[in-house]
Structures are given as C-alpha cells and as structure tokens.
Amino acid sequence: MSGWIVSLGLAIEAGGLAALFTDLPSLLALSAYLTAHALATLLFTVVCLPLLPASYRRNLVLAGVFLFTLQFAMPVIGSIGVFAGILLPLRLPRSEHHIPWQETAIPDLPYRPVDMDEQLGFSDGGLREVLREASSSDKRLKALLASRQLADQEAVDILKEALKDPTDDIRLLAYSMLEQKEKQLATRAQKLKKLIDDPDHPDWHRLTRRLAHTWWEIAYLGLAQGGLKQYYLENARNLLADLTAAKSFHNDWRLLGRIELALGHTEAANNAFQAALASGAPPELIYPYQAEMAFLARDFQKVRFHLANCSRFGPSAPVKELMEGWL
C-alpha cells in the first residue's frame, strides 16, 4: 500500500514539474505545479507518519504539519531528506554505547573485627608510639615513611626518634631523610645568599628576610647542632638586625627576639620583643616568649602574669598546656 502511494506521489510530482515546461501561461503553470506538489507532499506525509518513532506520533497533527511544511518548502530535496532521515535509522544497526562504569555487588558486612594494630595513625604521637612500641620492623618502617605527611617540625622529631631504632635499614633511611631536608634548606639559603650579594637588587629586603627565615628554620628544626647551629643563628640575627634598622616590621623584631632567646641573650631578646610590640605585633604572640624569659630569670610571678594575659586572646594548644600547668 505504501509503495503504491509513493508511486502515485512521484507521478503527481513529475506531472507538476512537466507543467512548468509547457506552453501554458506562467501563472497558470506555476499554479498547476504548486497544486500537484502540495498533493504529492500530502501523499508522502501520509507514508512517513507511520514510520516515525512512537514518541513522535503522540500528536499526529503537529507531526504531519511539520513533515508537510518541510517537504513543501523544499521541492524534491525535502522529500528525499525526510525519507532518508526516517528510513536510514530504521535500517542501520544500533550503535553500542560504551558504559563508563562497572556495576559491582554490594559488599557484605565484615564478619570479623578489624585488627586496629594494623592501622597506623598519621599524627606525631601515633607515629612516635609505633616507632617505640611496634615489634615488627615493617610497621616501624611504614610509620617512618608516613612522617613525610607531617609538618617539618613534627617530621624531624619522628626522624630523630627513628635514629634510635635497632634496625639498620630504618636508621639509615631516617638519616637519609634528615640529610635531604637539611640539604634542601641549605641549597635554598645558598641561592638566596647569591641574590642578596647585590645590595641594589629590587627585592633585597624580601630576599634577606627569606634568607634569615631559612637559617632560623635550619637551627629551629634541629638539623644543625653545635657550632654550625650557632653559625646559622648568628647569621640570621645579623640579617634581621640590618632589616630592622632599615624598616621596622614587627614580624622581623619578633623573629629577632626568638633568635636572641635561642642564643641565650635574654636582654637583647627582651628589647626585640618590646620593639615588636611597639611596631604593632599582636600581644598574644609576644606574651609566651616573655613568659619564657621570666622563667629563665626565675621570676615565676611574671611567668604567671604573662600566661594569664594570654588567656584573653584564645591561646594556641601548646600555650593552653602551659597555662594549665602554671595557672
């Protein structure tokens, strides 16, 4: 039935085209073609409607108007395009879509308790406890490697603890990791030292401050001992003295005070901390160091005074522990 309707539509369409090339007046020939073309388009629309997917046939009127308008507006080409667009997808095989995930069954609940001894904690205390108490060298080695996720100060303490381990491999690895940290800081200091050798460098103050912090960090982390530590501290003190003489920043004064305190120069440290307060340093950052200087001077009343002042500013956890012991 559809083949007969398509054949009839093609014949009518051909007749309409032939009318354009006859000796009829132009207006009459055009009217004859448009009438034939409209009738052929209607027949083609009737054939196409049943071929549409079910979702497109929910409103036959709108679908029919769309197909008719599309074919009527583009003679011959419109009908070919509509038939190709409908028939080809019906004949061609469906493409297989790659599923980007894989279904897995829901795992069962554990039927036995988890051995907590196999779980390593990634905190300073947890790793230190494993290094001290674990009987398995593999567990101690994992704890040592996990120290790489800690801050430098905590990691260095763990590595120094590992230097006492009875296993040679663990001690050698800890020593190698400590040496690597020291080498990184020393290399950074050397590069900064070369840059600040030029006093006209546009970032001389910033680079000098970074070099002082780097030398202080080496000493503070305990990566240098004895005379070498003294050398780093004195170099950092000299740089900060130059910086504070040129520009008075409270952070520079505060670090200078910490360095003087590490060198055992309590009077110079007190002057630096007072200068930091005068330059706008937050008091809660200075009170703990003033309490430490008071303790070194055996003035325990001042220790309590300075720690009591810290309580007004929401002190950090280490300062809270000091306050619990003194107040």
Question: Quick one: angle between helices 26-48 and 2-20, nearest 10?
Answer: 160
Domain boundaries, the chain: 2-86, 120-197
Rounded distance between C-alpha atoms, residue 129 and residue 123, angstroms: 10
Cα 39 from Cα 37, distance rounded (Å): 5
pLDDT at 9 over 80: no
Query: Which of 98-112, 123-137, 260-274 is most confident?
Result: 260-274
Query: Above 50 in pLDDT, residue 48?
Result: yes
CA-nearest of 303, 311, 305, 244 to 278 is 244
Residue 95 pLDDT: 64
- Position 77 confidence tier, pLDDT thresholds 50, 70, 90: low
Residue 288 has pLDDT above 60, yes or no: yes
Q: Is the pLDDT assigned to residue 219 strictly greater than 80?
A: yes
Q: What is the pLDDT of residue 311?
A: 77
Could you report the per-residue pLDDT of 84-108, keeping only the tens digit for each?
666 666 556 566 666 677 777 776 6
Between 39 and 167, the higher pLDDT residue: 167
As a whole number, mean pLDDT of residues 202-231 equals 89
d(CA 325, CA 319): 10
CA distance 237 to 245: 12
CA 13 to chain centre: 66
Task: Tell me the residue type at 27.
Answer: L
Residues 22-59 as b or e (16 or more Cβ within 10 Å = b): eeeeeeebeebbeebbebbbbbbbbbbeeeeeeeeeee
Output the 3-class SS for the chain.
CHHHHHHHHHHHHHHHHHHHCCCCCHHHHHHHHHHHHHHHHHHHHHHHHHHCCHHHHCCHHHHHHHHHHHHHHCCCHHHHHHHHHHHHHHHCCCCCCCCCCCCCCCCCCCCCCCCHHHCCCCCHHHHHHHHHHCCCHHHHHHHHHHHHHCCHHHHHHHHHHHCCCCCHHHHHHHHHHHHHHHHHHHHHHHHHHHHHCCCCCCCHHHHHHHHHHHHHHHHHCCCCCHHHHHHHHHHHHHHHHHHHHHCCCHHHHHHHHHHHHHCCCHHHHHHHHHHHHHCCCCHHHHHHHHHHHHHHCCCHHHHHHHHHHHHHHCCCHHHHHHHHHHC
Work out the pLDDT band at 212, boundaries 50, 70, 90: very high
Tell me the C-alpha distance between 237 and 259, whole Å: 6
167: left (phi over 0), alpha (psi -120 to 50) or beta: beta
Give the pLDDT confidence of 17-27 residue by residue, as tens digits: 677 677 777 77
For the cut 50, the answer to whether the pLDDT of residue 257 exceeds it is: yes
- pLDDT of residue 185 exceeding 50: yes
- Range with the largest mean pLDDT of 4-13, 68-77, 88-97, 248-257: 248-257
Residue type, 299: D
pLDDT at 120: 46
Whether pTM exceeds 0.95: no
Residue 236 confidence (pLDDT) above 80? yes
> Do the Cβ atoms of 249 and 278 come closer than 8 Å?
no
- What pLDDT, on a 0 to 100 scale, did the predictor assign at position 110? 53
pLDDT (0 to 100) of residue 116: 47
As a whole number, mean pLDDT of residues 110-121 equals 50
